[in-house]
Structure 1
Amino acid sequence: MDTLKGQFLVATPDMSDERFAEAVIYLVAHGDDGAMGLVVNQPLPDMNLADIFAEIELAEDAEPIRVPDRLLHQHVFKGGPVESSRGFVLHSSDYFRDGNSFAVDDDITLTATLDVLRAMIEGKGPERSLLALGYCGWEAGQLENELRHNGWLTAERSDELLFSLPAGRKYDAALAAVGVNRATLSPVSGNA
Structure 2
Amino acid sequence: MAEFQSLVGRLLVAMPGIGDPRFEHAVILVCAHEPDHAMGLRLDRPAPGVNLRAVLTKLETEAPQGAADRAVLVGGPVERERGFVLHTDDWIAPDATMPFGEGLAMTATREALAAMVDPETGPRRSVLLLGYAGWGEGQLEEELGENVWLTADADPDLIFDPDYPAKWTRALAGLGIDPAQLSGQSGRA
Please report the TM-score for the alignment, with normalisation by the length of structure 1: 0.90
Identity over aligned pairs, percent: 42
Q: Distance in 1 between matches of 2:116 and 2:177?
A: 37
Q: Distance in 2 between matches of 1:185 and 1:106?
A: 29
Cross-structure match for 2:73:
77
Q: Does residue 37 in structure 1 map to residue 40 in structure 2?
A: yes
Cross-structure match for 1:154:
151
User: 2:39 touches 2:132 (CA, 8 Å); kept in 1?
Assistant: yes
Give the counterpart of 1:96 among 92, 97, 103: 92
Report deviation, 1:15: 1.0
TM-superposition CA deviations, 1:118-155 (whole Å, max 9, x none): 22344321110011100000011000001111111111
Cross-structure match for 1:110:
106
Gaps of 5+ in 2: none
Q: Distance in 2 between matches of 1:106 and 1:149?
A: 28
Q: For residue 33 of structure 2, what is the amino acid of its counterpart?
A: H
Q: Does residue 23 in structure 1 map to residue 20 in structure 2?
A: no
RMSD value, Cα = 1.7
Q: Does residue 57 in structure 1 map to residue 60 in structure 2?
A: yes
Report deviation, 1:27: 0.5
Q: Distance in 1 between matches of 2:163 and 2:178?
A: 18
Q: Does residue 183 in structure 1 map to residue 186 in structure 2?
A: no
Q: For residue 160 of structure 1, what is the amino acid of its counterpart?
A: D
Report deviation, 1:174: 0.7
TM-superposition CA deviations, 1:20-74 (whole Å, max 9, x none): 011110000111121000010000122111111111123xxxxxx56262x4311
Please report the TM-score for the alignment, with normalisation by the length of structure 2: 0.91
Q: Distance in 2 between matches of 1:43 and 1:142?
A: 26
Report deviation, 1:94: 0.8
Give the SS at the match of 2:33: strand
Q: Does residue 127 in structure 1 map to residue 112 in structure 2?
A: no
Q: Distance in 2 between matches of 1:184 and 1:165?
A: 26
